[in-house]
């Protein structure tokens, strides 16, 4: 398996430190608001890759941090006149609701920054002892000029950065590139006691401390959005390698931007949709299919048309799966059809082994479906063992990508079915009472929710779009 490593700017053979163990750190949310669907792309793609590693036989320890203390959290909690900790906990609960809707497998550990203050302080002390950090009146900064190789991940040069207009001017720093490891508490802000006085950690040091505690000094994979390459991940490298003298990450994996009309989706630009807004209108399978149809490193233009197109592809998959289940029920011991399932399986894995090429993987699944649909059309009964092998292949590939409903969805689907049937019964009663305006209103509202009704002599059925 080969992965594109942002650090080396090339595809590299994947060789974890201690196979079959794999340590995997994913930058999680700063919990000051619901995350947008652009962030959701990173969460979903890292979820798919994690599931593929498990499929390949690796024992993956997956850690996603929760930044629960930050300038944005403090600002937002002050705006609504609430405690920063309570506010962060509320948003964390909403985060878990939204990633569950996107069918993202739970991380093995969700470390919170506020629960690792001691580890953060200890790490800053090591950096200070090694002359990578300095204190100025209660603030502690990382001295970028002391770390040889700063900029190796992003490809940026210190001289260019120093002259760049983007660098924040701070007169108490030795260098405008130096970044905060510990921030002196301002009046009314949350704080913790430290050797430098009351204060709180900087953003970058939190991830270094949490990843070290839960995954060790050198981790196999560190993932996040492209926007985190600089300065966040660059600064993580400087902190972690400065403290430990060891390679921090073997493979850096970064996900491309989700764009609106070719412009990066972001809260600062105001051109974003929250994941919650999107999952109310579209199934998680449709969203995941859309993401899988574009390579994880490339940009993806987000639109209703593309989501609708992904949903149509899913309809083909779901229709095929229904045919497959029916065929298994009718199966017998006739000779096996001449379709090499293992060849399709190999092609699928070859695609994902090549820098996780999910678009090619999806194409292979649909090539397989096309081949099998011919078999279904030409035969009234098919060999049972062959069909079970077909189901095994489809189940495994669809599980990696998360594009089929699974047993985990059964509970919520049962309630969903009951509610939809309740609306159908109310509509049927309205029609019987000749209250056609109400019947039409129910139908129209259900269409807005992505539910298509089909009336026939036998009654009314529905289909989720």
Q: Are residues 369 and 441 in the same domain?
A: no
Question: Which domain-ending residue is among 356, 387, 405?
Answer: 405
Distance in angstroms (rounded) separating the CA atoms of residues 157 and 240: 20
Question: Which domain-ending residue is among 405, 424, 441?
Answer: 405
Q: Are residues 119 and 133 in the same domain?
A: yes
Residue 81 is part of which domain span?
2-277
What pLDDT is stored for residue 454 in this prediction? Answer: 81
Structure tokens given for 160: 């260019």
Give the residue from 418, 19, 427 showing the smallest Cα distance to 220.
19
Beta strands 219-225; 249-255: pairing state: parallel
59 inside domain: yes
In the three-class reduction of DSSP (H, G, I as helix; E, B as strand; rest coil), residue 22 is classed as strand
- pLDDT per position as a tens digit, 153-181: 999 988 777 655 344 555 789 888 999 99
- pLDDT per position as a tens digit, 193-222: 999 999 999 999 999 999 999 999 999 999
Q: Are residues 14 and 122 in the same domain?
A: yes
Q: Are residues 245 and 358 in the same domain?
A: no
- State the CATH number of the domain containing residue 163: 3.40.50.620
Q: Are residues 309 and 273 in the same domain?
A: no
Give the residue from 267, 236, 262 showing the smallest Cα distance to 249.
236
Q: Are residues 452 and 319 in the same domain?
A: no
- State the CATH number of the domain containing residue 313: 1.20.120
Give me the residue label for tokens 């690792």: 116
Q: Are residues 313 and 429 in the same domain?
A: no
**∠ CA(297), CA(235), CA(110), 5° rounding?**
70
CB atoms within 10 A of CB 460: 15
Q: Which residues of 288-321 are buried (b: 16+ CB within 10 A; e: fewer)?
A: bbbbbbbbbeeebebeeebbeebbebbeebbebb
Q: Is omega for the bond preceding 435 within 30 degrees of 0, making it cis?
A: no
> How does residue 407 score in pLDDT terms, banded at 50, 70 and 90?
very low
Contacts (Cβ under 8 Å, ≥6 apart) of 79: none
Distance in angstroms (rounded) separating the CA atoms of residues 297 and 229: 13
Lowest mean pLDDT among 52-56, 357-361, 404-408: 404-408
210 inside domain: yes
284 inside domain: no
In the chain, what percentage of residues exceed pLDDT 70? Answer: 93
Q: Are residues 328 and 179 in the same domain?
A: no
Q: Are residues 401 and 422 in the same domain?
A: no
Q: Are residues 243 and 331 in the same domain?
A: no
Q: Would you say 59 and 108 are in contact if contact means Cβ atoms under 8 Å apart?
A: no
Angstrom distances, CA of residue 368 to CA of 67, 125, 190, 312, 364: 43, 57, 57, 17, 6
What pLDDT is stored for residue 30 in this prediction? Answer: 96
Q: Are residues 315 and 219 in the same domain?
A: no
Q: Total domain count for the chain? A: 3
Question: Which domain-ending residue is among 405, 440, 456?
Answer: 405
381 inside domain: yes
DSSP string, 203-250: HHHHHHHHHHHHH-SSEEEEEEEGGGIIIIIHHHHHHHHHHHSS-SEE
């Amino acid at each position: 398996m080969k992965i594109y490593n942002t650090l080396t700017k090339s595809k590299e053979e994947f060789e974890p430190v201690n196979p079959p163990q794999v340590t995997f750190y994913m930058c999680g949310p700063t919990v000051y608001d619901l995350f947008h669907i652009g962030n959701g792309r990173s969460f979903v793609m890292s979820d798919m890759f994690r599931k593929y590693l498990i499929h390949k036989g690796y024992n993956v320890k997956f850690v996603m941090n929760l930044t629960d203390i930050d300038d944005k959290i403090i600002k937002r909690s002050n705006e609504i006149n609430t405690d920063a900790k309570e506010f962060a906990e509320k948003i964390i609960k909403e985060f878990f609701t939204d990633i569950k809707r996107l069918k993202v497998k739970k991380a093995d550990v969700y470390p919170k920054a506020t629960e690792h203050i001691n580890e953060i302080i200890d790490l800053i002390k090591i950096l200070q002892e090694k002359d990578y950090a300095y204190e100025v009146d209660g603030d502690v900064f990382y001295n970028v000029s002391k770390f040889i190789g700063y900029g190796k991940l992003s490809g940026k040069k210190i001289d260019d950065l120093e002259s760049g207009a983007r660098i924040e001017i701070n007169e108490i720093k030795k260098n405008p590139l130096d970044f905060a490891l510990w921030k002196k508490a301002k009046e009314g802000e949350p704080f913790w006691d430290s050797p430098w006085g009351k204060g709180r950690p900087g953003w970058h040091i939190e991830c270094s401390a949490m990843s070290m505690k839960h995954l060790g000094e050198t981790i196999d994979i560190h993932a996040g959005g492209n926007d985190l390459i600089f300065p966040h991940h660059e600064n993580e490298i400087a902190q972690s390698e400065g403290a430990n003298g060891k390679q921090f990450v073997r493979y850096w994996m970064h996900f491309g931007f989700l764009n609106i009309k070719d412009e990066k989706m972001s809260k600062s630009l105001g051109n974003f949709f929250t994941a919650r807004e999107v999952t109310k209108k579209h199934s998680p399978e449709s969203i995941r299919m859309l993401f899988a149809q574009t390579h994880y490193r490339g940009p993806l233009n987000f639109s209703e048309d593309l989501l609708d197109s992904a949903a149509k592809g899913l309809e083909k998959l779901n229709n095929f799966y229904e045919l497959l289940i029916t065929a298994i029920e009718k199966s017998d011991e006739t000779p096996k059809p001449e379709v090499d399932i293992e060849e399709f399986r190999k092609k699928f894995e070859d695609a994902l082994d090549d820098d996780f090429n999910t678009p090619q993987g999806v194409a292979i699944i649909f090539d397989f479906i096309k081949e099998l649909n011919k078999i279904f059309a030409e035969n009234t009964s098919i060999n049972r063992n062959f069909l079970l092998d077909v189901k095994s292949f489809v189940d495994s590939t669809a599980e990696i990508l998360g594009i089929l409903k699974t047993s985990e969805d059964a509970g919520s689907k049962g309630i969903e079915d009951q509610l939809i049937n309740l609306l159908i019964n109310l509509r049927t009663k309205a029609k019987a009472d000749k209250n056609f305006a109400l019947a039409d209103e129910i139908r129209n509202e259900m269409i807005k929710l992505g539910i298509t009704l089909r009336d026939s002599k036998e009654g009314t059925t529905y289909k989720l779009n």
